[in-house]
Structure 1
């Protein structure tokens, strides 16, 4: 998954995209739960695997739901207990950005006109949205404690009453910073899907 040949391989479906994703059941639950006119934001999308899966779930449902992905496209650097720079090879492949690969993958999966991509850091992106304007925000950006706290504080006001705020990598062994931040910032959050957390606001 780290070589140029892999990044250059043809993509036609979200399953072809390099990345880490195992919570499609959560996406299906969200699409079934929320009404037409909903707005879903995924913060931290890497090369678009989960983003394109969500777009497919929405398309297959026939629902009118907006899907938007936010990413710096510069990677997160070394992270986690193993201090691994998981995004580094893709950033290097793109000469300092993953934006080209991400956009190519969204186009190749057929979602060029239905998925919006915002190249921005999480906090600046959150500031672009009015409070209570979003239905579901899923956080999967930087995984250190301070960053997760900041993301929760920035995005929570943007979610309308009855909407969801959730996040990835709720794993105290691999990502202790995520778990600690969620427990401190949103103590009502519960484990959800596969290694996810979620709270209804």
Structure 2
């Protein structure tokens, strides 16, 4: 087969298609042309991908299943464990479900747990992503080996990435000795193993050509490498274009934000000037109020001094009142004593007056008796001249005694 015929055979296949889902940077972009060709060549009944992340390789297979009308059921197995992975998973689901939900599922679980979902000898195409390292890839291959069918093909990515400490290339070096296959070196390497004994004719043809050092092998590898590189450039250009569009959008947003903030700054400046004017007015008012406060403080000081003087006068008057009250109390006490003395003396005089009145009453009685006696003497002729004299003497003596008593 001439070079032109060989390239024509490859170019007439699906290998020249364009993927619909390219999300972020990934070396798998360079292997999408081969994935397109492989689905068209082996038409697997089932496809399982372990370690799905952005879904570039998985969606490429789903896209080719649709384009080639292959009878393939597709399953992506991934965990998306980190908070940042939630957005990646959401973007994949948003692209995948409207287009491929009829024959494809995204299983959010571990590779170990997903084993229970598939019967033995049921998987025709298994892709093991080596993002988690060589040890994890080795474990996945051994665990999923019983699930592979008699016509199974295994894809192992990053077989040419030697700088990783836990790389997948040692595993590939072991497996290529156990199973027929080949590996591409571009795009960090992609190993292709025919694990089942039944190898589809198109894949066998490719394996036979790539397993030799012929010119055809170089042409085939060059074709897929160029197709992958062209796709990668397109993808990177698209990423750059999207980044540029995002930057322009962001610049527009920032410009609008700047214009808005400039307008806000102008409004703020006007408000600042108004506030400065208001502050000036307030400062003038504060000065006036301060002057009024000083005047009132002076008045308060004067009134305080006057109150102090009046408080002194009040104290002095209170002292005088207290002294006068003390003097009044003393005089009242002395007057009380004098009143008591005069009361006693008055009682004594009242007793004396009563006695004198009693004596006077007795004298009145005696006088009345004497008057009657004198009247009797006056009625006697013998005593008309002598008795009055005698009576007067008697009376005089009695009066003298009473006076002395």
TM-score, normalized by length of structure 2? Answer: 0.38
Aligned match of 1:73: 80
Distance in 1 (CA, whole Å) between partners of 2:147 and 2:40 is 21
| 1:177 aligned residue (143, 167, 180) | 167
Q: 1:141 offset after TM fit, Å?
A: 4.8
Q: 1:143 offset after TM fit, Å?
A: 3.3
CA RMSD of aligned residues (A): 2.5
Q: 1:119 offset after TM fit, Å?
A: 0.9
| 1:55 aligned residue (57, 62, 70) | 62
Q: Does 1:106 align with 2:96?
A: yes
Change (3 A) 1:93 1:186: closer
What aligned pairs does 1:36-51 form with structure 2 within 5 A after superposition?
A: 38-51=45-58
Determine helix, strand or coil for the equivalent of 2:84. helix
| 1:92 aligned residue (84, 88, 106) | 84
Bigger fraction of residues in strand: 1
Aligned match of 1:32: 40
Q: 1:121 offset after TM fit, Å?
A: 1.2
Indicate if the aligned counterparts of 2:62 and 2:100 stay in contact, CA closer than 8 A.
yes
Distance in 1 (CA, whole Å) between partners of 2:107 and 2:61 is 16
Determine helix, strand or coil for the equivalent of 1:14. coil
Could you say which structure has the greater relative contact order, defined with CA pairs below 8 angstroms and 6 or more residues apart? 1
Q: Of the two, which has the highest radius of gyration?
A: 2
Determine helix, strand or coil for the equivalent of 2:132. coil
Q: Choose 187-196 or 114-123, whichever is displaced more.
A: 187-196
Distance in 1 (CA, whole Å) between partners of 2:113 and 2:45 is 22
Determine helix, strand or coil for the equivalent of 1:166. strand
Change (3 A) 1:93 1:150: closer
Q: 1:33 offset after TM fit, Å?
A: 2.3
Change (3 A) 1:39 1:196: same
Change (3 A) 1:139 1:147: same
Change (3 A) 1:181 1:131: same
Q: Matched residue pairs, number?
A: 170
Bigger fraction of residues in helix: 2
Unaligned runs of 5+ in 2: 1-18, 196-405
Aligned match of 1:13: 20
